[in-house]
Amino acid sequence: MGDYVTPGEEPQEPGIYRSEQMCLAQLYLQSDASYQCVAELGELGLVQFRDLNPDVSSFQRKYVNEVRRCDEMERKLRFLEREIKKDQIPMLDTGENPDAPLPREMIDLEATFEKLENELREVNKNEETLKKNFSELTELKHILRKTQTFFEEVDHDRWRILEGGGGRSGGSTEEQAPLIDIGDNEDDSMRHFSAQAAMLRLGYGVYCTEKAREKDSASPPSHHFAGTGEMLPPAGAMESEEGLELTQHAVAGSAPFANFGFCGFCKALFYLQHEDMIASSAENSGIGDVLSADEEELSARFSDAMSPLKLQLRFVAGVIQRERLHAFERLLWRACRGNVFLRTSEIDDVLNDTVTGDPVNKCVFIIFFQGDQLKTKVKKICEGFRATLYPCPDTPQERREMSIGVMTRIEDLKTVLGQTQDHRHRVLVAASKNVRMWLTKVRKIKSIYHTLNFFNIDVTQKCLIAEVWCPIAELDRIKMALKRGTDESGSQVPSILNRMETHEAPPTYNKTNKFTKGFQNIVDAYGIATYREINPSPYTMISFPFLFAVMFGDMGHGVIMFLAALFFILKEKQLEAARIKDEIFQTFFGGRYVIFLMGVFSIYTGFMYNDIFSKSVNAFGSSWTNSIRHEYIDDVLEKGEKASEAQWMLVPELAYDGNPYPIGVDPVWNLAEGNKLSFLNSMKMKMSVLFGIAQMTFGVLLSYKNFTYFKSDLDVKYMFIPQMIFLSSIFIYLCIQILAKWLFFGSAPGSVLGYTYPGTNCAPSLLIGLINMFMMKSRNAGFVDEEGNIVPQCWLSTWYPGQSFFETIFVLVAIACVPVMLFAKPYYLWKEEKERREGGHRQLATIEIVLVILALVQVPIMLFVKPWLLYQREKKQTRYSTLGGSGGGASTSQSVRADIAQDDAEVVHAPEQTPKPAGHGHGHGDGPLEMGDVMVYQAIHTIEFVLGCVSHTASYLRLWALSLAHAQLSDVLWTMVFRNAFVLDGYAGAVATYILFFIFGSLSVFILVLMEGLSAFLHALRLHWVEFQSKFYGGLGYEFAPFSFERILAEEREAEENL
Amino acid sequence: MGKICPLMGPKMSAFCMVMSVWGVIFLGLLGVFFYIQAVTLFPDLHFEGEGKVPSSVIEAKYNEKATQCWIAAGLYAVTLIAVFWQNKYNTTQIF
């Protein structure tokens, strides 16, 4: 402990028994050395800095600039890390722990990061531009290629149409023949027109009904070309009118006519079969792919029709996202009233979005229209749909040239892009080797400056003053660290550590290792121990797994749990390194040592219960033999029918050999179908009471250690002693009764404790006995009367000499303890207070005394008089009714109610306690005594204890209940599931065994081990928090949170992973 | 490593592996206990009809069940090999 221990302090106790002794100390650090010293303390991780400028906002602190710079560096590093991750470069993470860099190194780091970031940003920007160019060029390339095919199709088709109908499908030949004739009759310029007509004709052929055609042909054609218009179906009246109009135009000049006719045709076609058009154009995407013959021809003729008109017809080409295409087409059709013609084709390659880099599917489109107005309209629509328009030359020659130009540019860009990416990759690879280490360094610097902000700056600006909590046992190491820090910084003046006296409650610091941590967490989850209070965790380490195992007693399930925990423990390092984020896994992994012990203890209790997957093992030879004669059994079996229902009893006198089974439950009970449960229940119930009362008594004994430690004489005298007396006179007495019953009341009649014992039917009933003890009922002494006849209800008799007397004494003593617990301590506190204020207000004091006494008298009156009167009345009424089980029933329900009420009291009283942390002897005399508070506190405590003793004893019965539930569930699983495997014979039986074992095994693991285990765990937790710790544990402390790099880095890392 | 006939993922195959190991041990032992005619397993035997059963029949039944358990244990041994192979070749990463 070194020279810092002031004489007179108590000797060092083993670290885990109480929390570490802490002291408040002042650190005087030279301004130059402060950074290094804090860095050393951070590596050590044993001091908790107090904020000495709590009222200064974080923006006005001294080192806010440095913290901000660190934030900036961290941001840059995170950016770097993101870029590295994006490129899927593995990051070197050796987990090494570099020392906190010197302040001057910070500038280098900053410069490095700045440079890296700028470089990366530059590269990224270039890359983005290049990529944008690249994708634009790619799109242009696609446009050129697609439009080329559009136009090529046109040329090809024009040739076909002009050369004759040879290429046409047979169905349309007949209809087209006359049109071709017409075309032939016309002059050269009209040929295009005929092609146009053929087109329309085809459209007609596809879309018009036979009837409509007949009708059309019946109407007198005013023109050669009237058919053109009339061929439009009657449904589209407007179109047909327009068609007629077109015919007029045709007289004036063939070219314009054809032009308009074409548009009109388009319109009609769109109107009629808009959807089909889209489908067909979509299908057209693959050049000459899976088009149906008709549609191919149709589209071919479209192109054919317009190619000669390209002087009049203008077009724009562009690229649009595939998802937008449908809407785009629709809008184009509606907005331009069908006066435009759209061809689309899908780009087969998946392009990348320039900004996000996500893959997108795009389509090339080409829109034909006429006139400037339409052009602006179309352009607006394109803009609205975010379609990119590209210039597309009119002539094939130009297109080819442009295409070649684009290709070369793409090639160039590819080279440049490759180089850029290479460069970026090189930069990132270089950075990836260091980025984790840099991050650690920066975080360390940041935390140091953050801590330095807590410091007080001396007026001379020469030194910084800090206040720290630190464990006294570690002062030497802290001093060494300070010395190292000073040396490293080259400062001449040493840093000074000065212990201070304080009245503040120090933080609670329990040293833990990986084994004790799990149990300490269980305790801390209830409340951090008050400073220097007894730490329940060492006891929890044994009692927690034990109580768990009492509820989980099964060797088989215990082994499963044990092996799972063993796996976690043996593979600890690998599993930790794997950093599995699954929360459930982390819970189990974190509690691996707890689970390990739970498994081991379960194996032990399972061995005691002689239970392995609901089967027993006859390891040492059962003490029971078959006492029933075989002939007799055969006789009954011969009779058939009822044989299976026959009950056979092994009479202990004959079947039991007198030597009990060496350890645990005799396996014969597993086969006792009739009374297996009666036997086990009775045994387990009594055992739970024994364990429970033992644990509670132990808790009360621990409170004694607490009281003596805090030198609270009053508490020992007026809390601990009456509590112990109360507990012993009722509950420990009950335990002794249980043990006595086990020891003395066997199956054989004889003389027990001075009374004649006629046999098992007269074994004393302890529960009703306990109730009678409180009722102070007169009972028959002994089991037989003078003549040797068994008295009626002999199990209610007293069973040792002087029992009534002793029990009366016990009850009276226990009741007498209650007012002592309730009033003694407040009275003495008050007396002490009064003595201090002696003189002055003597008059007032007398009045106070009278009032207080009056008030104190009221309390027991309020508490007891009404219940007593009620009880009297009740007694009068029930005098004539029989006693029997009704008394027991009433009492049990009462205790249950008390249990519930007690739980409430637990919840309510917790905040009640908080304002009184000094109540345990530390702070007596800190302020004026608040008699009301003391009284209320004491009353609550007393009521809690008295009622708690009853309800907690009942609460421990959960040990039996859960153990029963577990045993029964595992029995059900065997008999209902696995046993069926043995019904079948032969190979079917083997297969059934194979399958049913899988089901049995899975259910065992998931229901019996996981779910039952969880419920047993929770109940064990409750027994510790409520039943055990309420006897001695305050849990009002606050945790020691040292400044430690390890902790800070771990937290940061966790936060990073949870992002 | 390419996936060969991937029937189950790493977690499933690990679970099945544990179950098969357990199956081999558990059923092997259960077979032994049937073989030595453990009384505690008597309720698990199934007899046709009512009335007295000669002890020779009971013994035969015990032996039959023992064999049955061992066959099932053997089946689990085969399963273990299959699952182990699954685990080895289809595991991208376990834990």
Instruction: Quick: pLDDT tens for A808-827.
Output: 999 999 999 999 998 888 88
Contact B68 A575 (CB under 8 A): no
What are A969's two structure tokens? 């569930």
pLDDT > 60? residue A264: no
Interface of A with B in 968-1027 (CB under 8 A): 975, 979, 981-983, 985-987, 989-991, 993-994, 997-998, 1001-1002
What pLDDT, on a 0 to 100 scale, did the predictor assign at position A300? 46
Q: Which of B19, B39, B69 sits opposite A993 (nearest CB)?
A: B69
As a whole number of Å, the end-to-end CA separation of chain A is 44
State mean pLDDT over A528-552: 93
State mean pLDDT over A77-93: 84
Q: Which residues of A944-973 are buried (b: 16+ CB within 10 A; e: fewer)?
A: bbbbbbbbbbbbbebbbebbbebbebbbeb
* pLDDT tier at A276, thresholds 50, 70, 90: very low
What pLDDT, on a 0 to 100 scale, did the predictor assign at position A694? 96
Percent of chain A with pLDDT over 70: 77
Angstrom distance (rounded) from CA B32 to CA B69? 9
- Taking CA–CA distances from A668, the nearest residue in chain B reads B40
What pLDDT, on a 0 to 100 scale, did the predictor assign at position A159? 64
Helices then strands, counting H and E runs in chain A, come out as: 39, 13
Chain B CB contacts of A646 below 8 Å: none
Expressed in percent and rounded to 5, the helix, strand and coil fractions of chain A are: 65, 5, 25
Min mean pLDDT across A63-77, A848-862, A915-929 is at A915-929
State mean pLDDT over A487-515: 87
Nearest CA among A188, A190, A196, A182 for reference residue A154: A196
State mean pLDDT over A91-110: 80
What pLDDT, on a 0 to 100 scale, did the predictor assign at position B35? 94
What pLDDT, on a 0 to 100 scale, did the predictor assign at position A97? 78
Higher pLDDT, A955 or A259: A955
What are A538's two structure tokens? 């060492």
- Taking CA–CA distances from B49, the nearest residue in chain A reads A640
What are A828's two structure tokens? 């003495």
pLDDT > 80? residue B75: yes
State mean pLDDT over B69-73: 94
pLDDT > 50? residue A506: yes
CATH 2.40.50 corresponds to the domain A313-386: no
Residue A594 to chain B, least CA–CA distance (Å): 22
User: Which ipTM value was assigned to this complex?
Assistant: 0.94
Angstrom distance (rounded) from CA A802 to CA A813? 17
What are A163's two structure tokens? 């050369």
How many CA atoms lie within 13 Å of A750's alpha carbon, on the beta-carbon side? 8
What pLDDT, on a 0 to 100 scale, did the predictor assign at position A432? 85
> Cβ contacts of residue A143 below 8 Å, gap of 6+?
A317, A318, A319, A364, A366, A390, A392
pLDDT > 80? residue A551: yes
Residue A999 to chain B, least CA–CA distance (Å): 10
Contact A617 B40 (CB under 8 A): yes
Min mean pLDDT across A63-77, A257-271, A476-490, A1034-1048 is at A257-271
**Residue A790 carries which DSSP code?**
B
What are A208's two structure tokens? 């018009």
What pLDDT, on a 0 to 100 scale, did the predictor assign at position B6? 66
What pLDDT, on a 0 to 100 scale, did the predictor assign at position A395? 79
How confident is the prediction for chain A on average, in pLDDT? 78
Interface of A with B in 542-601 (CB under 8 A): 571, 574-575, 578, 580
Q: Which of B68, B71, B95 to mutate to test the interface with A (most CBs of A within 10 A)?
A: B68
Contact A667 B45 (CB under 8 A): no
Residue B4 to chain A, least CA–CA distance (Å): 25
pLDDT > 70? residue A480: yes
pLDDT > 90? residue A543: yes
Q: Which of A578, A979, A1002 sits opposite B44 (nearest CB)?
A: A979
Q: Which of B40, B44, B71 sits opposite A990 (nearest CB)?
A: B71
**Which residue do the tokens 């800090």 mark?**
A466
**Residue A936 carries which DSSP code?**
H
CATH 3.90.400.10 corresponds to the domain A16-62+455-509+1042-1059: no
Q: A553, A605 in Cβ contact below 8 A?
A: yes
C-alpha angle A108-A113-A119 in degrees, rounded to nearest 5: 125
* pLDDT tier at A843, thresholds 50, 70, 90: low
At A912-967, the pLDDT tens digits run: 333 333 444 444 445 667 788 888 988 998 998 999 999 999 999 999 999 999 99
Q: A255, A312 in Cβ contact below 8 A?
A: yes
What pLDDT, on a 0 to 100 scale, did the predictor assign at position A555? 94
> Is A670 near chain B, with CB under 8 Å?
yes
Which SS3 state, helix, strand or coil, does residue A220 take? Answer: coil
What pLDDT, on a 0 to 100 scale, did the predictor assign at position A6? 39
CB pairs under 8 A between A and B: 75
Q: Which of A982, A1006, A1009 to mutate to test the interface with B (most CBs of B within 10 A)?
A: A982
What pLDDT, on a 0 to 100 scale, did the predictor assign at position A309? 47
Angstrom distance (rounded) from CA A248 to CA A237? 17
Provide the residue ranges of all domains of chain A, joining segments of one domain with +: 16-62+455-509+1042-1059, 70-132+426-437, 164-311, 313-386, 514-623+659-678+959-1031, 711-836+886-947, 844-872
Q: What is the DSSP string of A1028-1043?
A: IGGGT------B----
* pLDDT tier at A844, thresholds 50, 70, 90: low
What pLDDT, on a 0 to 100 scale, did the predictor assign at position A205? 37
What are A1031's two structure tokens? 């006897």
Higher pLDDT, A10 or A323: A323
What is the 3-state secondary structure of A447-500? Answer: HHHHHHCCCEECCCCCEEEEEEEEEHHHHHHHHHHHHHHHHHHCCCCCCEEEEE
- Taking CA–CA distances from B34, the nearest residue in chain A reads A982
Contact A997 B23 (CB under 8 A): yes
Higher pLDDT, A495 or A736: A736
pLDDT > 70? residue A278: no
At A728-765, the pLDDT tens digits run: 999 999 999 999 999 988 888 888 888 888 888 888 89
What pLDDT, on a 0 to 100 scale, did the predictor assign at position A1038? 92
Contact B75 A990 (CB under 8 A): yes
Min mean pLDDT across A162-166, A551-555, A700-704 is at A162-166
State mean pLDDT over A860-871: 80
At B11-44, the pLDDT tens digits run: 888 899 999 999 999 999 999 999 999 888 988 8
Chain A CB contacts of B58 below 8 Å: none
Contact A671 B50 (CB under 8 A): no
What pLDDT, on a 0 to 100 scale, did the predictor assign at position A1056? 81
At A188-224, the pLDDT tens digits run: 444 444 444 444 444 333 333 344 444 444 444 444 4
Strand partners of residue A751: A756
Percent of chain A with pLDDT over 90: 25
What pLDDT, on a 0 to 100 scale, did the predictor assign at position A852? 83
What pLDDT, on a 0 to 100 scale, did the predictor assign at position A346? 82
* pLDDT tier at A672, thresholds 50, 70, 90: confident
**Residue A530 carries which DSSP code?**
P
* pLDDT tier at A184, thresholds 50, 70, 90: very low
C-alpha angle A793-A797-A802 in degrees, rounded to nearest 5: 170
Strand order in the sheet with A388-390: A341-346, A362-369, A314-321, A388-390
pLDDT > 80? residue A487: yes
Q: A193, A247 in Cβ contact below 8 A?
A: no
Residue A670 to chain B, least CA–CA distance (Å): 7
Min mean pLDDT across A80-94, A335-349, A400-414, B1-15 is at B1-15
Residue A782 to chain B, least CA–CA distance (Å): 41
Residue A566 to chain B, least CA–CA distance (Å): 14
